[in-house]
Structure 1
């Protein structure tokens, strides 16, 4: 048990790393304890389905800080040990080992876990999800073994895995329940664009497909049963989204609604407890509503904001969501928060693979995406929320800075 209560950060991911770094940078001199159920120190996850899976990025480059950084900054790390409860009234975090850590403030950064399909066969060998370094290691090894890959889910993770597997020469089938991949995020027009991108690179993309079972032989997956028949497989990757890890918060009596509920300063229903990253549903003042975001940029920013809130320094959740992807020869950045039914305006040539997309609702830009056009995302960010006519958005002769 810590001799003096300080800040306890539960969940040693990217958001947590930015909490503890910002606290120390801003002069916080109380004890800090960082608890994570992985044995790894905090690392960045986006490359797991991109460069790391393809063998272009090594594990050493994923870590947020060097191996000695935490000790050098006086941070007590409990890696490989899960927090099992938060005693809000006794001000203690209890660990799986039976130990307890006293706190003045807690930051919950427990992230999310891959969504589990409620179908037979998910326990078979050769069935994978992708969330942790160990998952990436297993898939990297499998890329060298050949065989047929079936990816269940045509979202960002599923399509990035499919891209990496095809680049390695694997035979890949993607099974997507919706009529188009990424339809819920990008809408029909750009959903069709990503569908064609994958099909043109040899991915067998099947949409409107319902999966009922993963079948196997000798304890190993051999195929995926769908409403359109059996798809043979030597390896199956399930990428159907993620679920926030809210159990610890809920059991502590904190308000949970699709995530740990927090205000624009990331304070939960208990003023001594904050939440940041994938796990939190926080009020976004730029959008005027609560939002839960599962992306790299948000984990960094919210980690810093949580620290500033602990220190009672200025700051609030007032930025537009941002994410990026790399698939085949496509690199993309997206900023904002559009709905699939928003109007889409294209600037540039989708056939040539270099363009900017804008989404509009009631005349206002809700999001923008640059595809294979670089160093413009800050300009796009400044346009989100503004009223701009569709003809001006589409006119490439008008500079983004002049819109």
Structure 2
């Protein structure tokens, strides 16, 4: 029985990461696969497997999870906070469930094929919608927004993962698989540009900049670093001044909801302003006010500060969160939660700083946490879990299939 479970277990893990983007269409399979992993785990895990968890970053992340549970329970808001705490549990749980696998290559392969499947699905939807509407537009057009398998932010994140995994898998000497990895990089990069995933584009430029600190030092590396830095700065100002989808004052009819939701900069500008207002009005907090209470205060801020009635109605109805994981931890669970999360990031960096791949993954986590509450959605928790697995396998490379340093 143990042999059979040990044979099935890695493929259940692989299949889980393969179908994650289709979670909105197939709710049951991911939960079933998680159930299989949880049930099988005690039968196949070995005592020596737990040595992989002996790392300071994992200990701090576990401490963050424990603190969120204890703080929420003692504050009497367990029912309200459970949804978020559950997502944090999924992330750390996936890292723990991974330890009997000891083969990160399988998960990497699943990410690559998952990204390609999501792209094919989205392109197919785009063709159908374009044919039905008789119009063609890319970028932030309604056709693109409606055709995407998942939110553009997470689809961009998945494509960024796929590009990074393919890049680190390319061998310096000729190998037939190199062609496939290069093709995958090209397809995902083009797709990111076509869907106008700004955070994914910025992430790729930042990763290109980080890459210049690895390998042999050459003059052209410094040049690439400068160009990448200039591009990131230019993209920041482009994002800041974006107004292509802003509604004019003379416009009487509000655009469809799916177009309004694509106004990512305007949305975050309003949300961050309200979050900053709440922080300014509240005393310094060690334990926070709770995840639900944070949303309530944000909604009150939208209702008070937004003058445009259509915009106010949308923000209040959607109950937009902070769109910044660092702000959300501070407001909802206090300075202690924020400190633990920052300590996790800091202690994760030092053991892997000489390896490009895990360092790049950590950079991706930071960038996406700056613009998204990654623990507010299950797909975010799954991908944070993947980052934890990468960090885990990099800190303990001798006990896992090693990640190639480049």
TM-score (norm 1): 0.28
- Between 1 and 2, higher relative CO (CA 8 Å, sep ≥ 6) is seen in 2
Query: Which structure's residues are more often strand, by fraction?
Result: 1
Query: Which structure's residues are more often helix, by fraction?
Result: 2
TM-score (norm 2): 0.28
